[in-house]
Structure 1
Amino acid sequence: MKITVDVECTPEELRTFLGLPDVKPMQQALMTQIQEKMESSLNAVDPETMFKVWLPAGVQGMEQLQKLFWSHFATSSGRPKES
């Protein structure tokens, strides 16, 4: 014998029915703390300093990627690889 029961309720109603805790206030408090920490760290960093730190590595990485593409295209087209 097989019995099927369909229950239509909201997630909050089901959580209450099953006796599970409501974690929404805790999640909201944690998100507020995370947001405050992110805002304080962003305000402490000067945009010019960030660009000076990030840009050289980004440019070097782009040059390496470009060399990789050119070497791949040179070998796949049948032409000899340029150094």
Structure 2
Amino acid sequence: MKVHFEIECTPEEARAFFGLPDLAPVHDAYVDKMKSMMVDGLTPADFEKVARSWMPGFADGFEQWRQLMLSAIPKTPQ
């Protein structure tokens, strides 16, 4: 025997029905952070955090590698 149910509801209604959390505030905060990074660019501290998370165990030569990468970024006049 096969039984099929067709339920029409919005994603918000489905989340509420299944007891899942509403992640809209988290999504909005993430989008705002991404927008600010696109406008302001990555700071050297942000770049270091990303590089360390991508390459664990690379800490010994990381400073030399970081200097090499930072030297490749064009300097903007202030």
With structure 1 as the length reference, what TM-score do the two structures score?
A: 0.45
**Larger RCO: Structure 1 or Structure 2 (Cα < 8 Å, ≥ 6 residues apart)?**
2
Query: Which structure features the higher share of helix residues?
Result: 1
With structure 2 as the length reference, what TM-score do the two structures score?
A: 0.47
